[in-house]
C-alpha cells in the first residue's frame, strides 16, 4: 500500500510469523478474533498515520478533533444525570489530569516515529510490549505454557530475528565489516 517493497529476508520473516500464528490458532482451537481485530485495527491505525504524511502534532490534533464530539456528548450526558464525579479529593483529580499527559506524550512520540520510519520497522517495534508481557506471565505470574504455544511463539520470534537482521543490514553501508559478518 505504501509501495514499500519487501526483500527476500522480509518475505521469509512474514512466512515464519504466519506459520507461528497458524500454529497458535490451531493450539487455541478456534480463530482468535480479539487478537486479530486488535492486530488489524492497530495496523490500520499505523497505516493511516503513515499515509497522512503529517507531523506528529498535526495527526494527534486530528485524532483529538475526531474524538472530541463523542466525548463531549458523553460528558454532557453524565453531567446531566449527576454522575460526573471524577474524584472526591484533589489528589485523585490531579492524577486524572496527569493521565492526559501520560496518554498524549507516548502518542506524540509514536506519531513522530511513524512518519520517520518504514512501516516494517514500526511493526517490528510493536512486538516489544507483547514479548515483555509474555515473560511477565511466565516468570512472574507463573502461568502455564503449552508446547504448542512455545512452538508458535518460537516461529514468531525467529521471524522477528530474521526481520531485525535484515533491517540492520539494510541500514549499514555494504563495506561495513559488522554488516558483512551478519
| pLDDT tens sequence across 143-169 | 988 899 889 989 988 998 898 888 778
- Flag whether 68 is in a domain: yes
Q: Which domain holds residue 93?
A: 55-117
Q: Is 135 exposed, middle or buried (0-12, 13-18, 19+ CB in 10 A)?
A: exposed
pLDDT tens digits, residue range 69-123?
Answer: 888 888 778 777 777 666 566 676 677 667 777 888 888 887 777 777 777 677 7
- Flag whether 78 is in a domain: yes
- Flag whether 2 is in a domain: no
Cα separation, 110 vs 45, in Å, equals 11
In terms of domains, do 40 and 64 share one?
no
Q: 69, 99, 117 — which closes off a domain?
A: 117
**What pLDDT sits at residue 182?**
46
Q: Of residues 17 and 174, which shows the higher confidence score?
A: 17
Alpha-helix runs per DSSP H in the chain: 8-28, 33-52, 56-80, 90-116, 119-125, 128-135, 147-170, 177-181
Q: What backbone torsions phi and psi does residue 32 show, to the nearest 5 degrees?
A: -80, 80
Q: How many residues would you count in the chain?
A: 182
In terms of domains, do 46 and 134 share one?
yes
- Flag whether 8 is in a domain: no
Q: How would residue 174 be classed by pLDDT, with cut points 50, 70 and 90?
A: very low
Amino acid at each position: 500500500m505504501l509501495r514499500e517493497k519487501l526483500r527476500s529476508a522480509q518475505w521469509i520473516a512474514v512466512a515464519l510469523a504466519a506459520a507461528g500464528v497458524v500454529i497458535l490458532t490451531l493450539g487455541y482451537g478456534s480463530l482468535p478474533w480479539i487478537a486479530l481485530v486488535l492486530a488489524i485495527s492497530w495496523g490500520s491505525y499505523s497505516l493511516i498515520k503513515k499515509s497522512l504524511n503529517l507531523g506528529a502534532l498535526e495527526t494527534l490534533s486530528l485524532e483529538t478533533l475526531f474524538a472530541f464530539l463523542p466525548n463531549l456528548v458523553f460528558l454532557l450526558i453524565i453531567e446531566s444525570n449527576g454522575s460526573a464525579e471524577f474524584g472526591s479529593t484533589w489528589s485523585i483529580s490531579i492524577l486524572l489530569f496527569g493521565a492526559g499527559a501520560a496518554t498524549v506524550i507516548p502518542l506524540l512520540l509514536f506519531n513522530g516515529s511513524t512518519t520517520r520510519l518504514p512501516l516494517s520497522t514500526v511493526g517490528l517495534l510493536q512486538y516489544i510490549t507483547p514479548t515483555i508481557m509474555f515473560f511477565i506471565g511466565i516468570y512472574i505470574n507463573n502461568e502455564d505454557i503449552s508446547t504448542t504455544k512455545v512452538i508458535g511463539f518460537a516461529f514468531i520470534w525467529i521471524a522477528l530475528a530474521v526481520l531485525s537482521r535484515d533491517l540492520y543490514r539494510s541500514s549499514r553501508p555494504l563495506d561495513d565489516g559488522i554488516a558483512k559478518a551478519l
